[in-house]
Amino acid sequence: GAGVSQSPRYKVAKRGQDVALRCDPISGHVSLFWYQQALGQGPEFLTYFQNEAQLDKSGLPSDRFFAERPEGSVSTLKIQRTQQEDSAVYLCASSLQLGTATYYGYTFGSGTRLTVV
């Protein structure tokens, strides 16, 4: 596709519910990142994939958060037993390859706004 696509755009979950957020990166982009952006804050790194390999998951806030990219393209961020503090915008970004990320920046999707009630 022309850009990074994220779905759903908005998700309201009841506390304790599991959610799955989807990211379709730009076709051919090797690197894929997930970020969490709380209200009034900058995006915070969650995890990073290179193709299907999850190379860094140090930013995941707890073991309730899980991300996968089984075929090296679409990625899913899953949050189990959601809590109110999980309410945020979840951003996905991709880049053609690692070395280009800092020259040209990543391409971000529009995000999924998760509200836990």
Using CB under 8 A, list all residues that contact other proteins. Answer: 4, 31, 33, 35, 40-45, 48, 55-56, 59, 91, 93, 95, 98-99, 101-111
Which pair of tokens denotes residue 51? 């193709």
Nearest distance from residue 69's CB to other proteins, in Å? 15
Give the max Cα distance, the chain: 41
Cβ nearer to other proteins, comparing 15 with 51 = 51
Nearest distance in Å: CB 101, other proteins:
3
Residues 6+ apart with CB under 8 A from 81: 16, 17, 18, 64
Among 1, 3, 35, smallest CA distance to 114 is for: 35
Compare residues 14 and 42 and give the one whose CB is closer to other proteins.
Answer: 42
